Amino acid sequence: MTRAAAFFDLDKTVIAKSSTLAFGRPFFQGGLINRRAVLKGAYAQFVFSLAGVDAAQMERMRSQITAMTTGWDVAVVHDIVQETLHDIVDPLVYAEAADLIETHRAAGREVVIVSSSGAEMVGPIGEMLGADRVVATRMVTRDGRYTGEVEFYAYGENKAAAMREVAAERGWDLADCFAYSDSVTDLPMLEAVGHPTAVNPDRALRKVATERGWPVLEFNRPVSLRARFNGARTPVVTSAAVGAAVAGLAWYARRRTLRPLPAIVDAPVVPLPGRRRRRGA
């Protein structure tokens, strides 16, 4: 049993984009969202890459999750993520993050991905990265479908609480553990360990890191990991989740500094295009 671990936030810390938004196109192709939502997702990714988020915006995202995912088939979401994971996420992983993960594993520390996204995404991504376990948002399912209710939201203080729970289970001393994140909303997560580091920090987190003398890292080289983690282990999902990958499409677009986009919660689902029948056939 190891005595320490390294906890990694996911979006803009390990991967260059939002894991929530990255699966927009595959979900469209699977018939879960419409074309309008895909276009908004592309715009929202651009907005997400420019700045961080605050607590109010994260709360709006949770509201979008409960509305968007209600009634979705769990098996369909799982299959889409599994089939498209490497094409969608593999090219987005920062080389610097991959090196850091390998360094911690070589030092005998377990690697834990801690993300507000759902385990249908975070679990497979963690496996690809060679993480030992993941902590993610948990939503309620009934009869194989998402009810839209959030059972556990892996955000803010909840992340820190989950980390303390895992540490107690594994016998880790958090004073010897490491944590990495880009957002000031993850301040409780960073404060929970003895070795916090800000990665690609938003303005508020950069200020805190400077005041407290925390290390600040800049990751900017996304690379493919197909050859790097061939021996990756399947991580333990500490807080399983649904997190519907496109739940935050409208939320991310509603930046205070940019013109709001229309909500997509009530937009109709566009069926997958089929082949046109030939005239006379």
- The catalytic site residues sit at 9, 11
Sign of the alpha-carbon dihedral angle for 158, 140, 239, 230 = negative
- 124's CB contacts (< 8 A; 6+ apart) are 81, 82, 85
Distance of alpha carbon 138 from alpha carbon 154, whole angstroms: 8
Distance of alpha carbon 77 from alpha carbon 242, whole angstroms: 9
List the alpha helices (DSSP H) in 8-34: 19-22, 24-29
In the structure encoding, which two tokens stand for residue 259, read together? Answer: 């013109």
Q: In the chain, what are the helix, strand and coil shares in percent, each to the nearest 5?
A: 45, 20, 40
